[in-house]
Structure 1
Amino acid sequence: MSNLDLRPTPSLCGGSGRTGPVRDLQPGKQVPLGESTVVRRLLPNLGRRMVGAWCFVDHYGPDDIVDRPGMQVPPHPHMGLQTVSWLHAGEVLHRDSLGSLQTVRPGELGLMTSGRAIAHSEESPHGHGPLLHGAQLWVALPGEHRATAPHFEHHAELPRITGGGGLSATVVLGELDGAASPGTVYSPLVGADLTLRSGTDTRLPLDPDFEYAALTISGETEVDGVRLTPGSLLYLGCGRTELPLRAHSDSSLMLLGGEPFEEKIVMWWNFIGRSHDDIAEARASWMAGTRFGDVHGYEGDRLPAPELPPGALKARGRVR
Structure 2
Amino acid sequence: MDTWLNQSYTDDFVLLGIFSYCATDLVLFSMVMMVFTVALCGNVLLISLIYINPRLHTPMYFFLSQLSLMDLMLVCNIVPKMAVNFLSGRKSISFVGCGIQIGLFVSLVGSEGLLLGLMAYDRYVAISHPLHYPILMSHRVCLQIAGGSWAFGILDGMIQMVAAMTFPYCGSRNVDHFFCEVPALLKLACADTSLFENLLFSCCVFMLLVPFSIIMASYAHILAAVLRMNSAESRKRALATCSSHLTAVSLFYGAAMFIYLRIKHYGTPSHDKVVSIFYTVLTPMLNPLIYSLRNGEAMGALRKGLDRCRIVSQH
**Common fold, TM-score beyond 0.5?**
no
- Which has a greater percent of helix? 2
Q: Given the two structures, how large is their TM-score scaled by the length of structure 2?
A: 0.24
- Which has a greater percent of strand? 1
